[in-house]
Amino acid sequence: MQYNCLKLKKSLQKQVKKYDTKSGLSCLQITCLAVDEQQELFVGTAQGLFVLNGKTFCKIDGIDSVCKLFSFGETVFACSENTVYTVQNAQCIATTEYDERIAGIARDQADTVWMMTTRKLYRLQDGEFRFINETEFDVNCISASEPGVVYAAGKDALMILRGKRFEWGNILRGRSRMPDVDFSAISADAYGHLWCAGADGLYVFDGRSEWLTPEKVRAFPKTEVTAVAFDGYGVRYIGTDIGLYRYDVNGFQFMGADRYLADGRVTALAVFADSSKVYVGTAKGLTCISFVEMSLLEKAMYFEEHIRKYNVREGYVLGRVNMEEGNIDSGHVQITDNDGLWTAKYVVSQCLRYAVTGDEKALQNARESQKAMMKLETLTGIPGFTARAYRRPGEDRFGNGHSEWRKAEDEISALEWRGETSSDEMVGHFYSASWYYDLCADVNEKQQIAKNIAAIVDHMIENEYQLIDATGEPTTWAHWHPDDLNHDDRWTWEKGTNSLELLAFMRVAYHMTGNEKYLNTYFTLVKRHHYAMNCILYKLHDNHACHIDDRLGFYSVQMLLKYETDVQLRKYYLMGLRQHFEDQRIERNPSWNIIFGSLTGAFCDLENAVRTLQEYPLDCINYRVDNSIRKDIETDDATLEFGGIVQAKDGLPADERAYGRLGSNAFSLRGGNNCSSHAPTDWLLPYWMARYYKMIEE
């Protein structure tokens, strides 16, 4: 089906650099940050002031502790409790003490620099702060906007400096529309709107009488706000006690610990005016988040290199485990129960990439991994029975005596393979084989793949549509028999999906071999056992409690519709596909959206699919995430009916939830461990599929 092509621009990708004591920052308790006009970063800590010199930090002598920083031209003012240190060229050149606590320093649009202590206002003149006047109320923090306009916030009032005589106008709680909130930080924008950090969220004041509050504005953080900063393009950065919010033309994004920040509580912000990066301080360390424009093709090449470096083992594409926290270069690949299914996604992505680009490297990658897939069937010694995985001496848990692992050997060494193979693995084998056969295989490879697929299907047919393990018993989940699916309520959830799978398997086998036996079996399942009718509702709604069947359903229906030409049968399968897509579209999963659009030519939320591809994090690390602390996320307990847990009502952005396969739970509030990683095959597959079907163009 033809789908209108979406032309894409580059999008911003986040790159994270975390600084620790190895970078020369001897104190990780960050209190304040500033960037001077040379874009040098100054870091205030409980143990002094540091400047970033290239990749390392240097401590500036003569300053023991810093609570506030302000940059003006070539000068940086560092404040302790009641002392201002003047810093130039990374050296402290002057020290001035005051009789009150320093509340803050700000610059207005006329480049006048103002400083306030608890009650006294000063103006910078000829390199010195000179006293102007005094307020009636204590001040916590200050900001400035238009020439001569200074805002000072305290516990009892918001004060605004005005007029040529520098008089204070006091807005009092209880006597105005001002919320009853003690503001810990304020920041005025170019239009005199004051953004205020409150203990219960973000507030915005128009400078006269109008207030926007967390209750009025859904997008505002509804948690303690600790810092507010703007860049030169109006992007807002809101630091909170649970992480950093960023507001731009695309809405708001949340960046929390541990993927982005050293700790959830933000203590300081420093933003580059050109929007290229933001430094975020916490009580446990410093992070630089850079925003780099990248096309999806550039991102695809980045992920290709990542997979080849970190995820390939004998052609299988696997995740990594036992990593040091946040260190992708540590740990090792993880041999799992589903090596075939996970590898299949990579095979298909490389087949599609080869079809789009003609890149011989993609063909080589696909060939290597498809051979690995077929090996899982040949090494068991049971014709048509496919192993889940195998491992060699010296690999993790080899020889641990687990009953499902059986000894064998190949041309390289002794090994042991895992049985108990499931329907999941079978979907992976047929999915990769069908795409490789159609797009990449030469004549000899077509014969080998057809033989491999025929052996698997013959095994199923001869064993009453089951997989029979080395024990002589059926495996737990590989059941496709009509008696199970149509007449046993224990298989209610698998009924539609497994019917779809078996029909797809028979169609693939017939496509490759031309053997009428498989086509006759296919029609017997359709006519005598109503498998096509089962497919009308192959996805049962479960309030998004279980997600593995989504992958099996979409992959199977795609295989089936590739080869089924009968318009009547196609209607059955397309009805099931439509119902499945409508159930899943809330997740913004690019694979499901693109599969649906490519098979139907219908509206498929392609923009949302692209949005997820753009959001997907570059780091590929399964960082620990806890979104249950976010009051801006609406939760849903409907999954409890199906044995699930409370989760988000809407699917979460890919870079705000625990990193993982895009087919897993998009609603989960918690996850991750900082010490594992998945291969980004769930990104590559939909990207190259969209390119193959000409749904996107760059």
User: 123 in the Ramachandran plot: left (φ > 0), alpha (ψ -120 to 50) or beta?
Assistant: beta
Q: Is the pLDDT of residue 547 over 90?
A: no
Q: Contact, 114 vs 150, CB < 8 A?
A: yes
Number of C-beta neighbours around residue 318 at 10 A: 26
The CA-atom distances, in angstroms, between 99 and each of 63, 133, 150, 250, 456 are 18, 15, 21, 46, 85
Q: Do 84 and 118 fall within a single domain? A: no
**Pair 123, 86 in one domain:** no
6 is a domain residue:
no
> In DSSP terms, which residues pair with 41 in a beta bridge?
35
Range of the domain at 26: 17-97
In-domain check, residue 657 = yes
Same domain, 86 and 124: no
424: its two tokens: 């999941």
- The pLDDT of residue 1 is above 70: no
Q: What is the CATH number of the domain that holds 533?
A: 1.50.10
Structural domain includes residue 279: no
pLDDT at 573 over 70: yes
Number of domains in the chain: 3
pLDDT for 243-290, tens place per residue? 999 999 888 899 999 999 999 999 999 999 888 999 999 999 999 999
Which of the listed residues 163, 196, 220 is the one where a domain comes to its end?
220
Asked whether residue 48 falls in the same domain as residue 61, the answer is yes
Distance CA(430)–CA(202), nearest Å, equals 53
Residue 227 resides in a domain: no
- The CATH number of whichever domain residue 180 belongs to comes to 2.120.10.30
CA angle 156, 160, 163 (to 5 degrees): 145
Position 456 confidence tier, pLDDT thresholds 50, 70, 90: very high
Same domain, 122 and 204: yes
**Angle subtended at Cα 225 by Cα 276 and Cα 325, rounded to the nearest 5 degrees:** 60
| 120 and 133 co-located in one domain | yes
In sequence order, the 6+-apart residues with CB closer than 8 A to the CB of 142 are 103, 104, 105, 106, 114, 116, 150, 151, 152, 153, 186
Q: Does a structural domain hold residue 5?
A: no
278 within some domain: no
Q: What mean pLDDT is predicted for residues 222-232? A: 94
What mean pLDDT comes out for the span 135-164? 91
Are both 655 and 668 inside the same structural domain? yes
- pTM for this structure? 0.94
Residue 242 lies in a domain: no
Q: Let me know: does 62 contact 26? Beta carbons within 8 Å.
A: no
Integer Cα distance of 26 and 50 in angstroms: 9
Q: What is the pLDDT of residues 152-205, one digit of tens each?
A: 999 889 999 977 788 899 998 878 888 999 999 999 998 889 999 999 999 999
**Cα 429 to chain centroid, rounded:** 28
Whether residues 470 and 364 fall in one domain: yes
Q: Are 698 and 679 in contact (CB under 8 A)?
A: no
When the pLDDT of each residue in the chain is averaged and rounded to a whole number, the result is 95
C-alpha–C-alpha distance, residues 479 and 174, integer Å: 70
Domain co-membership, 490 together with 423 = yes
Can you give the CATH number for the domain in which 48 is found? Answer: 2.40.10
Cα–Cα distance measured from residue 475 to residue 467, given in angstroms and rounded to the nearest whole number: 6
pLDDT above 70 as % of the chain? 100
Q: What is the pLDDT of residues 492-511, one digit of tens each?
A: 999 999 999 999 999 999 99
Asked whether residue 404 is assigned to any structural domain, the reply reads: yes
Residue 202 parent element (H or E)? strand 201-205
Question: Do 481 and 468 contact (CB within 8 A), yes or no?
Answer: no
515 and 586 both lie in a single domain: yes
Q: Classify 164 as helix, strand or coil.
A: coil
The two tokens of residue 480 are: 């496709």
pLDDT in tens, 11-65: 999 999 999 899 999 999 999 999 988 889 999 999 999 999 988 999 999 998 9
Please tell me the predicted confidence (pLDDT) of residue 596: 97
Q: Are residues 123 and 159 in the same domain?
A: yes
| Domain limit, last residue, from 188, 220, 252 | 220
**What is the rounded distance in angstroms from the CA atom of residue 520 to the CA atom of residue 461?**
12
CB 479 within 8 A of CB 466: yes
Of 29, 64, 97, which residue constitutes the final position of a domain?
Answer: 97
Give SS3 for 191.
coil
Alpha carbon of 675 to those of 160, 289, 324, 672: distances in Å? 50, 21, 6, 8
93 lies in the same domain as 104: no
Question: Is the separation of the CB atoms in 343 and 350 below 8 Å?
Answer: no
